[in-house]
Amino acid sequence: MSKLINSIEEAIRVTGLKDGMTISFHHHLRNGDYVLNMVVDAIAKAGIKDITINASSIHEVHAPLVDHIKSGVVTGLECNYMGAAVGKEISRGIMKKPVIFRTHGGRPSDIMTGKSHIDVAFIAAPTSDDMGNCTGKIGKSACGSLGYAFSDAEKADKVVVITDNLVPYPLTDFSIPEIYVDYVVSVDKIGDPKGIVSGTTKITRDPVGLKIARYAVECIQASGLLKDGFSFQTGAGGASLAAAAYLKDIMVRDNIKGSYVMGGITGYMVDMLNAGCFEAILDVQCFDLKAVESIRTNPKHREVSGSQYASPTAKSCAVDGLDVVILGATEIDMDFNVNVHTDSNGYIMGGSGGHSDTAAGAKMAMIVAPLVRARVPIVTKKVQCITTPGSTIDVLVTQRGIAVNPARQDLIEKFKAAKLPVVTIEELYDKAMEIVGNYQPVELGDRVVAEVVYRDGTVIDRIRQVIE
């Protein structure tokens, strides 16, 4: 027996895909992904309409979706993150049904509990055998972890693995086992390696970013959390990585043995593991070649599912054990609510990803951001969109001072004792307004173009149309 079929067209036929169904994708091939476009093009050619796409993320490479939305092939979109190419068009109101935004933990939670039903999951796999045992660790399109695809594989009615490196059965080092897979399709290329992983992720050289990173690390030291057993997550933004580099120097110098590090994994996290700063990497997503190499060769670098990473309905998940997470923001308001969904003009250009999951789980959730970014103030009276509630954000670090959530008097005392430049968020707001001058807030339309579903399933905010 073999599950191998000839083409994506055949997969659409044999899975019984028809009008009104929901299909799913993972985003481990990031901006190099060919699979989503190939599948949706084939669906359009087959004359199927009214499809809902449930993808862990939509990237710039998925811009052809815009035409499929306009033509009625795709009428529903659910994701945890959406890049500007599709996001801008959604904000202009091209789709009737609002986009459903979830988090990296909320999505697998809803899939595993049956709240989100998937008819057919299409799983891009850098290597697979003909029965569907597959992995992202090897192959010309290697992407490392396949963590976000696990729930789709387990729960979708039909599962199609699409690979460009078919190997003889059995592939032993599989991530997703054959027991979930219905069909396997072999294609020339599932993606462009240049878009899948970056060669190197670079630390910022901007003095403002470095100052913010230094403050962030001083906050971590002052918090008392930096000791043996320390667990940590940081994003791949310039200032976040610079903070990780400073942190590594301190952990090596003071011989601090951390427990685990998580998140989108870069070479910097791998360096910290190899330097003995941490016992393990829990990896739901690789960002660069060094991370892919490490997950393939180092048993301490463990692939985890989206559920194990962050699902609020799993029996336990790793975000709940985090000591510190460093996150970004496009806006943060007087109540510490954070927006990473929309840009300064109100256009969709992002999403929570694991933002709100890690903020909820970590003992100290930190936002690092410059006070003003190209004349746009980071601190506002009220964010355009609440991605992550302020009740889960503890600290905002800017180059002009550190604001601590008033609910965390313990941190305020510790930071002041450490002589850190603690200010109120109102003071940061006033300072930002003074720098940018004459700021006029953007008015948005009434029509809802997206709903933001918090990790507990409640709609935490609605994103409105941009009127041009």
Partner 1 sequence: MNIIRNAIAGTMESSDLIVTVTPGSGLTIDIQSPVKRQFGDSIRRSAEEIAQDLGVTDAVISIEDHGALDCTIRARIETALLRASKEE
- Which H or E run includes 410? helix 409-417
- For residues 175 and 42, what is the distance between their CA atoms, to the nearest angstrom? 27
In the bound complex, what is the minimum distance in angstroms from residue 181's beta carbon to partner 1?
Answer: 45
- For residues 420 and 415, what is the distance between their CA atoms, to the nearest angstrom? 5
Q: Is 376 in the site for partner 1 (CB under 8 A)?
A: yes
Binding positions for partner 1, 176-195, rule CB under 8 A: none
Q: Which of 234, 240, 339, 344 binds partner 1 (CB under 8 A)?
A: 344
Q: Which window, 85-93, 117-125, 181-189, 435-443, contacts partner 1 (CB under 8 A)?
A: 435-443
Q: Which window, 26-34, 319-327, 370-378, 382-390, contacts partner 1 (CB under 8 A)?
A: 370-378
Q: Hey, CA dihedral for 134, 136, 138, 140, is it positive or negative?
A: positive
Q: Judge residue 274's burial from the number of C-beta atoms within 10 Å of its C-beta, 0-12 exposed, 13-18 middle, 19 or more buried.
A: middle
In the bound complex, what is the minimum distance in angstroms from residue 344's beta carbon to partner 1?
Answer: 6
Angle at 373 between CA 372 and CA 375, to 5 degrees: 75
In the bound complex, what is the minimum distance in angstroms from residue 86's beta carbon to partner 1?
Answer: 19
Q: Which window, 130-138, 193-201, 221-229, 374-382, contacts partner 1 (CB under 8 A)?
A: 374-382
Q: Which of 374, 419, 446, 458 binds partner 1 (CB under 8 A)?
A: 374
In the bound complex, what is the minimum distance in angstroms from residue 423's beta carbon to partner 1?
Answer: 21
Question: For residue 3, what are the contacts with CB-CB under 8 A and spacing of at least 6?
Answer: 130, 131, 132, 178, 181, 182, 183, 184
Angle at 438 between CA 437 and CA 440, to 5 degrees: 130
Our CB check for partner 1 shows the closer of 407 and 442 to be 442
Q: How many residues bind partner 1 (CB under 8 A)?
A: 14
| Closest CA relative to residue 313, chosen from 104, 109, 103 | 109
Our CB check for partner 1 shows the closer of 228 and 468 to be 468
Q: Which of 430, 435, 447, 459 binds partner 1 (CB under 8 A)?
A: 435
- Could you give the 3-state DSSP secondary structure of residue 254? coil
- For residues 120 and 285, what is the distance between their CA atoms, to the nearest angstrom? 22
Q: Is 434 in the site for partner 1 (CB under 8 A)?
A: no
Q: Which window, 40-48, 195-203, 237-245, 438-446, contacts partner 1 (CB under 8 A)?
A: 438-446
121 neighbors 26 (Cβ within 8 angstroms) = no
Q: Which of 13, 373, 416, 447 binds partner 1 (CB under 8 A)?
A: 373
Q: Is 437 in the site for partner 1 (CB under 8 A)?
A: yes
34 neighbors 189 (Cβ within 8 angstroms) = yes
Q: Hey, CA dihedral for 6, 12, 13, 14, is it positive or negative?
A: positive
Q: Is 439 in the site for partner 1 (CB under 8 A)?
A: yes
Q: Which window, 88-96, 107-115, 125-133, 371-379, contacts partner 1 (CB under 8 A)?
A: 371-379
Our CB check for partner 1 shows the closer of 125 and 372 to be 372
Q: Which of 13, 115, 257, 375 binds partner 1 (CB under 8 A)?
A: 375
Q: Hey, CA dihedral for 236, 240, 243, 244, is it positive or negative?
A: negative
Residue position matching structure tokens 């000791």: 227
In the bound complex, what is the minimum distance in angstroms from residue 287's beta carbon to partner 1?
Answer: 23
Q: Is 430 in the site for partner 1 (CB under 8 A)?
A: no
Contact residues for partner 1 (CB under 8 A)? 344-345, 373-376, 435-442
